C-alpha cells in the first residue's frame, strides 16, 4: 500500500471519498499535487490576520532573529577590514592569509557546532537549541570585543560560529514545522530573509562607525552583533514548541492541540487539522533515529534517505559556492573596479545589502507560487550569465590602455549587483525550504547538521581561498563560479525534487518512488465548483 493510500485510511478518509467523482466536471479544472490538501486549504478557516496567524508570525519572527546574527556577520567583516583603527589593532590587511584565518575560523565553528546542535534539537527541542546557541553568540561577542591580539579575535570568531550554527540549525526547522502547509514556502523563505535583517544594519553601522576616530569604530559593530540573540533569549519560551517534535516524543495530544489552535483556528473538525494529524501519526516515528544521537546512518542507509540527503548536500554546496561568497570580500572587489576611497566602498557595501534584501524578499513572497525546481535551474543559469558579464568587463578593463573608460567599471559593478539580486531571489528563500522539505521529522535535525557541515566546508573553501585567489589572479577567479553555476543548474535539473504543493509527510511517498524527480512533478486534476466545493477527478 502506498503512502497516499495509507493516508486515506486516516480520519479524513470519508471526505477523501466524497471529493472523488466520475461525473462530468462542472466548474474550474486545476492541476494540483495533492487533491486532499488542496480541498482542506480551500475550506480552511485560518485567516491571514487571525489571532492564530499572528501568533505564528511572532514565532517565526523569533526564529528570524536567529538568522539576523548570521547575516550581520556577512557584512561585518567586509565593513571592518578597510577601517583604519581595525588595521592598527590587528594588521590583517584587506586580503591574504590573516583575513583567511579570521574568516574561516567562523566557518570552522559552524562545522564543529553542527552535530552538537543536532543532539540538543532532537533531545530537548527546537526552542532550547535556539536559546543555547544565542547565549554562545553573546559569549563570542564578548571575546571579540575584548580582543587585543589577532589570536584572541580568531578564537572569538570560532565561538561566534559555534553559537550561530546551533541557533540556525534549529530555527529554519522550527519555522517550517510550525507553519500551515500552504504557508510553508513563504514562512521559511521569510525566515531566511533574516540574513538581511542583519546584513543591512551591519553595512550601515560599519559605514557610520568609520567616522569614529578610535577603537570603538570597530568595537561598536561587534557589540551590536548580539542584538538578534538577545531578542531570541528573551522571547523563545513564549512561543510554542514544534508540533512535529511533540509528536516524535510521544506528546500526541499536545501536537493535536497545537494544530487545532494554530492551523485550524480553534476548529477541531477542520479538514486541514485532520489531514495533518493523520499524516503526523503515519509519518513520524516515536522510536526513530532522533532518539539515538550518535546514529547518522539514517541519512544514507536507504535509497529514500540518500535521495533526501542529496537535496541537502546540493543546497549546501550551491547556497555557498555559486559566487555569492565573493560578498565577504566586497571591498577588495570594489578596489579592483577602481573604487578606492574607504567611505565609497562602505557606501557600495550598504547598497549591495539593500539590493540583496530586495531580491530575497521578492523571492520569499513568491516562493509558494513558483515551482522550486524551475527557479533553481533557470535562476542558477542566470547567475552564471551575470558573472560571465562581470568577468568579461573586468577582462576588458585589465587589457585596456589607461585611462580605463568609466563605462567598463560601471558595467562590471552593475553586473555584479544584478548577479547578487538574482542569486538572492532564487536561493535565499529556498536555502531553508529545500532541506526542510527533503528531511522527514525524525532526521530533520541531523539533516540540518549535514547541511551546516556542507555549507561550513564550502564556506571554509570560500573564505580561505577567496582572499588569496583575488590577490593572485583577480577577476579570473570569477570564471570558476561561472563554470560551476552551469554544472549546478544541470544537477538541479537531473536530481532536484519538487516539494511545492505537498505536505511534508506526503513527500515520503515521493522519495519512495523509483524516480523521485518524476514523481514530484506528477499532479492530480481537481474541479472547483461554482460554490467552492472541490472534487478530485484523476491523476494527470
Tell me the pLDDT tens digit for each residue of 68-103.
888 888 778 878 888 888 888 888 877 667 887 887
Give yes or no for residue 373 having a pLDDT over 90. Answer: yes
- DSSP letter string, 404-441: PPHHHHHHHHHHHHHHHHHHHHHHTTHHHHHHHHHS-H
Instruction: Give the contacts of 355 (CB within 8 A, at least 6 positions apart).
Output: 417, 420, 421, 424
Q: Indicate the pLDDT class of residue 9, thresholds 50, 70 and 90.
A: very low
Question: Mean pLDDT across the chain, nearest whole number?
Answer: 83
Tell me how long the chain is: 540
Complete domains list, the chain, with CATH: 51-244+286-495 (1.20.1250.20)
Q: To which H or E segment does residue 443 belong?
A: helix 441-472
pLDDT at 453: 87
Q: What are phi and psi of 525, to 5 degrees?
A: -90, 125
Q: Helix or strand or coil: residue 32?
A: strand
Q: Indicate the pLDDT class of residue 436, thresholds 50, 70 and 90.
A: confident
Q: To which H or E segment does residue 228 belong?
A: helix 227-235
Angle at 217 between CA 87 and CA 148, to 5 degrees: 55
- Is the whole-model pTM more than 0.85? no
Per-residue pLDDT of 494-514, as tens digits, reads 999 998 878 777 788 899 999
Q: Helix or strand or coil: residue 521?
A: coil
Q: To which H or E segment does residue 520 belong?
A: helix 516-520
Residue 92 C-alpha cell reads as: 590583517
Amino acid at each position: 500500500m502506498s503512502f497516499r493510500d495509507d493516508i486515506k485510511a486516516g480520519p479524513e478518509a470519508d471526505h477523501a471519498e466524497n471529493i472523488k467523482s466520475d461525473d462530468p466536471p462542472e466548474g474550474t479544472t486545476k492541476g494540483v499535487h495533492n487533491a486532499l490538501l488542496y480541498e482542506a486549504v480551500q475550506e480552511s478557516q485560518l485567516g491571514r490576520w487571525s489571532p492564530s496567524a499572528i501568533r505564528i508570525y511572532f514565532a517565526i519572527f523569533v526564529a528570524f532573529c536567529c538568522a539576523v546574527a548570521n547575516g550581520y556577520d556577512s557584512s561585518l567583516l567586509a565593513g571592518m577590514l578597510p577601517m583604519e583603527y581595525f588595521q592598527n589593532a590587528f594588521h590583517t590587511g584587506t586580503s591574504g592569509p590573516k583575513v583567511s584565518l579570521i574568516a574561516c575560523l567562523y566557518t570552522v565553528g559552524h562545522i564543529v557546532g553542527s552535530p552538537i546542535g543536532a543532539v540538543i534539537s532532537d533531545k530537548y527541542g527546537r526552542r532550547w537549541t535556539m536559546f543555547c546557541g544565542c547565549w554562545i553568540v553573546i559569549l563570542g561577542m564578548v571575546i571579540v570585543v575584548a580582543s587585543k591580539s589577532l589570536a584572541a579575535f580568531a578564537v572569538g570568531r570560532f565561538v561566534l560560529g559555534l553559537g550561530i550554527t546551533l541557533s540556525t540549525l534549529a530555527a529554519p526547522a522550527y519555522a517550517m514545522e510550525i507553519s500551515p502547509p500552504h504557508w510553508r514556502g513563504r514562512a521559511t523563505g521569510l525566515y531566511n530573509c533574516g540574513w538581511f535583517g542583519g546584513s543591512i544594519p551591519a553595512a550601515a553601522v560599519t559605514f557610520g562607525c568609520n567616522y569614529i576616530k578610535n577603537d570603538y569604530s570597530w568595537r561598536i559593530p561587534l557589540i551590536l552583533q548580539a542584538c538578534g540573540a538577545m531578542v531570541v533569549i528573551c522571547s523563545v519560551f513564549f512561543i510554542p514548541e514544534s508540533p512535529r517534535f511533540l509528536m516524535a516524543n510521544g506528546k500526541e495530544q499536545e501536537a493535536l492541540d497545537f494544530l487545532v489552535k494554530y492551523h485550524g483556528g480553534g476548529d477541531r473538525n477542520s479538514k486541514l487539522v485532520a489531514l495533518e494529524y493523520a499524516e503526523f501519526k503515519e509519518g513520524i516515528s516515536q522510536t526513530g533515529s532522533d532518539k539515538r544521537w550518535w546514529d547518522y546512518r539514517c541519512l544514507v542507509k536507504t535509497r529514500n534517505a540518500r535521495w533526501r540527503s542529496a537535496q541537502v548536500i546540493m543546497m549546501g554546496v550551491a547556497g555557498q559556492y555559486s559566487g555569492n561568497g565573493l560578498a565577504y570580500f566586497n571591498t577588495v572587489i570594489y578596489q579592483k573596479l577602481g573604487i578606492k576611497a574607504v567611505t565609497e566602498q562602505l557606501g557600495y557595501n550598504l547598497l549591495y545589502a539593500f539590493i540583496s534584501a530586495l531580491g530575497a524578499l521578492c523571492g520569499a513572497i513568491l516562493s509558494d507560487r513558483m515551482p522550486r525546481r524551475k527557479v533553481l535551474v533557470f535562476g542558477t543559469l542566470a547567475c552564471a550569465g551575470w558573472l560571465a558579464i562581470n568577468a568579461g568587463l573586468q577582462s576588458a578593463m585589465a587589457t585596456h590602455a589607461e585611462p580605463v573608460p568609466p563605462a567598463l567599471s560601471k558595467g562590471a559593478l552593475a553586473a555584479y549587483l544584478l548577479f547578487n539580486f538574482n542569486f538572492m531571489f532564487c536561493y535565499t528563500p529556498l536555502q531553508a525550504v529545500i532541506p526542510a522539505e527533503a528531511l522527514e521529522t525524525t532526521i530533520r535535525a541531523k539533516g540540518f547538521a549535514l547541511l551546516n557541515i556542507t555549507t561550513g566546508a564550502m564556506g571554509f573553501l570560500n573564505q580561505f581561498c577567496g582572499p588569496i585567489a583575488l590577490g593572485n589572479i583577480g577577476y579570473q577567479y570569477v570564471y570558476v563560479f561561472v563554470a560551476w553555476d552551469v554544472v549546478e543548474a544541470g544537477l538541479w535539473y537531473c536530481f532536484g525534487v519538487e516539494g511545492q504543493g505537498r505536505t511534508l509527510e506526503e513527500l515520503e511517498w515521493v522519495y519512495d518512488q523509483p524516480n523521485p524527480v518524476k514523481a514530484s512533478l506528477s499532479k492530480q486534476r481537481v474541479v472547483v465548483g461554482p460554490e467552492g466545493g472541490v472534487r478530485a477527478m484523476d491523476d494527470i
